[in-house]
Structure 1
Amino acid sequence: MKSILRGTLPRAGPFYIKRGIAKSHRGHNEISSFKTAVETAEKLVQPKSDKFSDPFSIVSHEMSNLAKSIASLIGSGHPTLNRVSSYYFEAEGKNVRPLIVLLLSKALLKIPESERTRIDIDDQDVTEQPHYKGTPTKTSVAGNTVDDLISPLAVLHGINPRVILDPLSKPMDQLPQIDAINGILPKQRRLAEIVEMIHTASLLHDDVIDLSDARRGRPSGNIAFTNKMAVLAGDFLLGRASVAIARLRNPEVIELLSTTIANLVEGEFMQLKNTVMSTEPTINNDGDAKTVPEATGKVPTVLHEYSVATPKSVDHATNVDAAFEYYLHKTYLKTASLMSKLSRAAAVLSGAQDDVVENCYQFGRNLGLCFQIVDDMLDYTSSDDAIGKPSQADLKLGLATAPILFAWRERPELGELIARKFKEDGDVEIARRAVQQFDGVEKTRQMAREYCHRALENLSVLPPSDARSALELLTNSVLTRSK
């Protein structure tokens, strides 16, 4: 199978990963301050300074105003829609994705201006900061700030613009002064808000699909409101995010972020099928099998070259390898795609050179895979209260994640349970015992640890700074999180 990154998704099992070495940026190949953490794997770094005990501290102002800033972007004329759309932003979430954007933006600022010329950094982008001139052949089409309209307000809303305040055009509080102090470009700040909106929209949709009843320690959106309202609110968030994406006025970043939305849907469809072992043209309709209508041929459809459609093989090892590839690819689409592309977008907006942009992408990809693999592990080890949502839910939903796949490698008969999505009485209990017997959780932890190492290596392309140290600490903490 050709992966989305042409072979960069590693295989699973004892050979599931090859250590990648990040390219070192000229003049910035100093030894990472967290080398010890890399060598000792899961052990969390104890920073020399208390100010790094919380990565949020470096960007505390931006993070503390995140929900308020997002609220200004998602305002609607309908009060109930406003209520549903803002529901998940009210609860305390991890906010990992905007945190990555902000910390990475500060870390990229430490690269000399002379080495950040991949695009023009527009005067409106940098406000009080110097104007970084890019090469004549690689210019941006920025031109305006993230709050300026592209189309007339009357066109956007379809009503008299004098009677409505455009929620996407409100100026941010004291933006130039904040940028001059912190070195985070306005477009990078807006990027942080956009990615959290996209992520939250996916949570609203996921909770409907997974029939969840809790999220962030309280009733999920579909329970607090209705399935229909939760779906519509998620759609609304994606619509508002799309407008904000367009106003970044950078074609490459627009392409990256728009692709993440499509990736989320592709990943969800992969999860509906769940395994490469199923080749029947049926779909699950809330417990009932439904046959997929045959194509008429009027609309030609071509699978992507990275499509995962490996049929069931008579060879057990081949089946397990294919299942791991399917699992990792689904994980990339559902989780790592957004983290990788937001990291790349932050680097693009900074004007950094290609090697830095690529390593930022790989950092987000490896961190995203690590994050979701740990999440899958926690589903087997944590209580409902610890993770703020139902635990041990993956098997009940018929999902074959890393712990059970590792057990399947050692116990071939588990393949039948995986193929039928643990639907028969006793399947879930058999699977849980197998995971415990064959150390599925510990092998999953080692898998996550390897991705963590690779993410840290990618960060070595950046010059040493407080922000890079905070990113390294954040990366290590993913392995030791309990929720």
Structure 2
Amino acid sequence: MTPATSFFSPVEADLRILADNLKQLVGNRHPILYAAAEHLFGAGGKRIRPAIVLLVSRSTMLEQEITPRHRRLAEITEMIHTASLVHDDVVDESDMRRGVPTVHSLFGNRIAVLAGDFLFAQSSWYLANLNNLEVVKLLSEVIMDLASGEIQQGLNRFDTNTSIETYLKKSYYKTASLIANSSKAAGLLSDVSQETAEHLYGYGRNLGLAFQIVDDILDFTSSTDTLGKPAGSDLISGNLTAPVLFALEEKPYLEVLISREFAHVGDLEQALALIEDSQGIVRSRELAAEHAKLAIEHLAVLPPSECRQALTNMTDYVLSRLY
């Protein structure tokens, strides 16, 4: 087991069932889409999002077995996440994801876009069949948020006036919304109180933000092999993340380099050196740690259990990726 999946031991059997079900949910009516889905779901992802849904489900159903609806919610969560990755890779023109070729690099852009659309549509259909209007609303909002985050990122390319607040809002849309709303939805399927449901949302929101901030730090501190994509790729594409925004406060010349979109030879290398020489990475680490701490505080509402401890450990794992 990887450091991430070792936290999933209370739901390990559930995740095995989920892996088998995912391919069946897509169905084989469309051979190309089925091949794309099989490639995606076999790509060795950590399954962090469905694991969180299953851990929340079990930590709110301590006296009884989780229901088929809890399991289906975990599957829907992974389908939505995977659909968003397919579209992201097309937009970002990424050839590799998790160390394997992306759908569009294997099947072309047209099939990749349709495969992403198909997965979103399938997840929406299975969502409607849960027959819980509040849960349907929560997960439908996630799909809107994913699109909003991608649009906002596109509009803010190379914009050195982007604030940390705007960055966090985009990070919520792109990453935290799915974790927050699916955690809350799992609680609602367990009939928890509205107050507990809001705490579950708060856990997912802060964990998701910490996760995204850490990802954005790793874009500067990890090797291409570790990331499965070129290091510094966010900056090259004009996506200004926390380390850059903090560095901009200290290094005025960084703004010049970014504004001209690294047009001159050596611009990118100079920008990376300025970021490394600033407090950008350190301050980003502090911001991630702050959100991880807030996530843990929201778990106090749950009774002690192995699954609650696993949810707590998840915040440690997110931060440990930096070291």
Shorter chain as denominator, the TM-score bin is over 0.9
Partner of residue 212, structure 1: 94
**Separation in structure 2 between the aligned mates of residue 329 and residue 347 of structure 1, nearest angstrom:** 24
Deviations 1:414-454 (CA, angstroms, capped at 9, x unpaired): 23333444444433222211111113212211110110000
What does 1:47-66 correspond to in 2, within 5 Å? 54-66=6-18
- 1:233 matched to 2:115? The reply is yes
Q: Which amino acid aligns with 2:321?
A: R
CA contact 2:79–2:123 (8 Å) conserved in 1: yes
Shift of 1:185: 1.7
The structure showing larger relative contact order (alpha-carbon pairs under 8 Å, at least 6 residues apart) is 1
**Which of 448-457 and 429-438 deviates more?**
429-438
* CA positional deviation for 1:104: 0.8
Q: Does the CA contact (< 8 Å) of 2:40 and 2:82 recur in 1?
A: yes
Residue 218 of structure 2 aligns with which residue?
A: 378
1:396 equivalent in alignment to 2:278:
no
Deviation per CA, 1:140-184: give whole Å up to 9, x if none.
xxxxxxxxxxxxxxxxxxxxxxxxxxxxxxxxxxxxxxxxxxx22
1:387 and 1:482 in contact (8 A); partners too:
no
Matched, 1:406 2:288: no
- Structure number with higher helix proportion: 2
Give 1:341 shift.
0.4
For residue 392 of structure 1, report the CA deviation from its aligned partner: 1.8
What does 1:9-408 align with in structure 2 at a 5 Å threshold? Answer: 54-110=6-62, 183-274=65-156, 277=159, 319=161, 323-408=163-248
Specify which of 437, 440, 444 is matched with residue 280 of structure 2.
440
3-state SS in 2 of match to 1:460: helix
Instruction: Return the offset for 1:275.
Output: 5.5
Q: Aligned-pair RMSD on alpha carbons?
A: 1.9
The answer to whether the 8 A contact 1:85-1:236 is kept is no
| Secondary structure of residue in 2 paired with 1:389 | coil
For residue 461 of structure 1, report the CA deviation from its aligned partner: 1.0
In structure 2, distance between residues paired with 1:423 and 1:199 = 34
Match of 1:474 among 310, 314, 318: 314
Q: Contact conserved, 1:187 with 1:248, CA < 8 A, in 2?
A: yes
2:158·2:258 contact (CA, 8 Å) conserved in 1? Answer: no
- Residue 463 of structure 1 aligns with an amino acid whose one-letter code is P
TM-score scaled by structure 2? 0.94
* Cα distance between partner residues in 2 of 1:267 and 1:257: 15
Sort the Cα spacing of 1:260 and 1:421 in 2 relative to 1 into closer, same or farther, 3 A: farther
- 1:53 deviates by 8.6
User: % of aligned pairs identical?
Assistant: 47
Counterparts of 1:417 and 1:109 in 2: how far apart (Å)? 53
Distance, in Å, in 1 between the alignment partners of 2:114 and 2:41 is 16
Please report the TM-score for the alignment, with normalisation by the length of structure 1. Answer: 0.64
- Quick one: which amino acid aligns to residue 87 of structure 2? H
Distance in 1 of aligned mates of 2:222 and 2:103 = 22
Q: What secondary structure, in the 3-state scheme, does the structure 2 residue paired with 1:109 have?
A: coil
The amino acid that maps onto 1:220 is T
CA–CA distance in structure 1, aligned partners of residues 99 and 158 of structure 2: 34
Gaps of 5+ in 1: 1-51, 113-128, 130-182, 279-318
| Residue type of the alignment partner of 1:242 | S
Aligned structure 1 segments of 4 or more residues deviating by more than 6 angstroms:
none
- Cα separation, 1, equivalents of 2:281 and 2:101: 28
Distance 1:421 1:100, change over 3 A: farther
